[in-house]
């Protein structure tokens, strides 16, 4: 019998789509965003990609219209609060689209603590997440649901505060708002159904293996250098994740060796300067494409 395609829901366009496409393309999928395409089929792992709005992704997966999907953790959280009978789970964290859901208030206003939100109106596109926070903190505030331009609500006096996604804080600043409280930290996640068939689970794991190989490699570097043998301990202190470096003899030298090591954190100029200060030379820093553990 022919294998069914693994159906994967992605955001068609927006803050999640670019990162989703980039990550999947590094896993050998050849996806290209296009205005008119809502379905892309790929022979790679026999998959089909559904391109939809991010808000629809949890519902698609939950109702078996898609097998898995990439969403912001905040969107997933909002969905499961709204649908307590849901059947969803987070399969993997994907380490992009970092942002936070925060309550923000006018910078010159009289709301200074979360207790000051009592009796106030807060505009948001994430009413369930906000309600959950307010309940847990015994705050009695009115929630005004808006589907966009939430940051304008205090300016036009329809709300006293907002609860919205923040990444750099530039939008808040432009609108004379300050962050009062972070209520949820988010990144992109792969979601699936708890009761998926064993075949879907297995095939999802094949994809997760690829995704994680690329994610693990993202900040890692392969470093090659020459150094005195007796400086290797110092070197290990400088390079995080360098527990067991490969040490190779150098032809014609008794005390200098070549060291090859994978560093799991980025290697910055100041690290290179420190390596030089302990006598390292011929330093090469190479990107790693995939890393299987
Ligand atoms: P759609 O048309 O698909 O409904 P949208 O306008 O609702 O799109 P986006 O603004 O693209 O959604 O945000 C989608 C998700 O991306 C958010 O739910 C959040 O997880 C994440 N996100 C939002 N803003 C940022 C940001 N500035 N930086 C990184 N990630 C973000
Ligand atoms: Zn959306």
**172 lies in the same domain as 206:** no
C-beta of residue 196 within 8 angstroms of C-beta of residue 261: no
State in Å: Cα 253 to ligand 1 middle. 56
The answer to whether residue 276 sits within a structural domain is: yes
The ligand 1 atom at the shortest distance from the C-alpha of residue 73 is 20
150 pairs with which residues across the strands?
Answer: none
The answer to whether residue 292 sits within a structural domain is: no
Q: How many angstroms from the chain centroid is the CA of residue 266?
A: 17
State in Å: Cα 267 to ligand 1 middle. 30
C-beta of residue 92 within 8 angstroms of C-beta of residue 211: yes
**154 lies in the same domain as 28:** no
pTM of the predicted protein model: 0.90
Pocket of ligand 1 from Cβ distances under 6 Å: 11, 14-16, 53-55, 72, 74-75, 97-99, 165, 167, 186
More confident residue, 3 or 148: 148
The answer to whether residue 118 sits within a structural domain is: yes
Mean pLDDT to the nearest integer, 101-121: 97
The answer to whether residue 159 sits within a structural domain is: yes
Return the CATH number at 258: 3.30.70.120
Q: What is the pLDDT of residues 32-52, one digit of tens each?
A: 877 778 999 999 999 999 999
Query: Where does a domain end: 217, 236, 269?
Result: 217
pLDDT given for residue 243 in this prediction:
67
The answer to whether residue 1 sits within a structural domain is: no
Instruction: Name the percent of the chain in helix, strand, coil, to the closest 5.
Output: 30, 30, 35
State in Å: Cα 65 to ligand 1 middle. 22
CA-nearest residue for atom 20, ligand 1, is 72
Range of the domain at 80: 6-97+187-217
Site to probe by mutation for ligand 1, drawn from 9, 16, 52, 169 as the one with most ligand atoms within 8 Å of Cβ, is 16
State in Å: Cα 99 to ligand 1 middle. 9
**233 lies in the same domain as 281:** yes
State in Å: Cα 158 to ligand 1 middle. 24
Q: φ and ψ at 180, to 5 degrees?
A: -100, -40
Mean pLDDT to the nearest integer, 190-215: 96
Mean pLDDT to the nearest integer, 67-92: 98
Q: Looking at the predicted structure, is the pLDDT value of residue 19 above 90? A: yes
Q: φ and ψ at 11, to 5 degrees?
A: -70, 135
Mean pLDDT of the chain: 93
Q: Looking at the predicted structure, is the pLDDT value of residue 1 above 80? A: no
The answer to whether residue 81 sits within a structural domain is: yes
**181 lies in the same domain as 199:** no
Look at residues 275, 245, 290, 289 and name the one whose alpha carbon lies nearest to residue 263: 245
Return the CATH number at 166: 3.40.190.10
Determine which helix (DSSP H) or strand (DSSP E) holds 59, and give its type and residue range.
helix 57-62
**131 lies in the same domain as 203:** no
Site to probe by mutation for ligand 1, drawn from 15, 19, 126 as the one with most ligand atoms within 8 Å of Cβ, is 15
Q: How far apart are CA 49 and CA 40, in angstroms?
A: 5
**30 lies in the same domain as 93:** yes
**90 lies in the same domain as 198:** yes
Q: How far apart are CA 264 and CA 125, in angstroms?
A: 37
**201 lies in the same domain as 226:** no
Q: How far apart are CA 97 and CA 77, in angstroms?
A: 15
pLDDT given for residue 32 in this prediction:
83
CB burial of 233-260 (b: ≥16 within 10 Å; e: otherwise) equals ebbbebbeebeebeeeeeeeeeebbbbe
The answer to whether residue 111 sits within a structural domain is: yes
State in Å: Cα 258 to ligand 1 middle. 46
**10 lies in the same domain as 93:** yes
Q: What is the pLDDT of residues 124-158, one digit of tens each?
A: 999 999 999 999 999 999 999 999 999 999 999 99
Domain count, the chain: 3
C-beta of residue 86 within 8 angstroms of C-beta of residue 194: no
Q: DSSP string of 188-204?
A: EEEEEETT--HHHHHHH
Q: Looking at the predicted structure, is the pLDDT value of residue 121 above 90? A: yes
Residue 159 has which token pair? Answer: 């709300």
**104 lies in the same domain as 208:** no
More confident residue, 146 or 254: 146
pLDDT given for residue 253 in this prediction:
85
Mean pLDDT to the nearest integer, 227-245: 84
Ion ligand 2: residue ranges with CB closer than 5 A: 54-55
**141 lies in the same domain as 212:** no
Mean pLDDT to the nearest integer, 198-221: 94
The answer to whether residue 270 sits within a structural domain is: yes
């Amino acid at each position: 019998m022919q294998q069914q395609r693994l159906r994967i829901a992605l955001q068609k366009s927006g803050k999640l789509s670019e990162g989703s496409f980039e990550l999947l393309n590094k896993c050998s999928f050849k996806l290209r965003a296009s205005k008119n395409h809502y379905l892309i089929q790929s022979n790679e792992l026999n998959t089909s990609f559904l391109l939809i709005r991010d808000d629809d992704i949890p519902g698609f997966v939950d109702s078996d219209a898609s097998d898995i999907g990439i969403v912001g953790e905040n969107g997933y959280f909002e969905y499961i609060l709204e649908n307590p009978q849901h059947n969803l789970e987070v399969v993997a964290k994907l380490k992009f689209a970092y942002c936070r859901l925060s309550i923000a208030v006018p910078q010159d206003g009289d709301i200074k603590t979360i207790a000051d939100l009592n009796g106030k109106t807060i505009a948001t596109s994430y009413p369930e997440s906000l309600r959950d926070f307010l309940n847990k903190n015994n705050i009695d505030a009115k929630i005004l649901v808006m589907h966009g331009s939430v940051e304008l609500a205090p300016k036009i006096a329809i709300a006293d505060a907002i609860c919205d996604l923040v990444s750099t804080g530039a939008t808040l600043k432009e609108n004379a708002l300050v962050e009062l409280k972070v209520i949820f930290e988010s990144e992109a996640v792969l979601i699936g159904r708890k009761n998926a068939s064993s075949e879907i689970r297995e095939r999802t794991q094949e994809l997760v293996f690829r995704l994680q190989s690329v994610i693990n490699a993202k900040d890692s570097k392969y470093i090659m250098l020459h150094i005195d043998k007796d400086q290797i301990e110092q070197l290990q202190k400088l390079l995080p994740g360098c527990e067991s470096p490969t040490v190779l003899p150098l032809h014609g030298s008794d005390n200098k060796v070549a060291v090859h090591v994978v560093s799991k954190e980025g290697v910055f100029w100041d690290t290179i300067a420190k390596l030089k200060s302990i006598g390292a030379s011929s330093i090469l820093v190479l990107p790693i494409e995939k890393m299987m553990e």
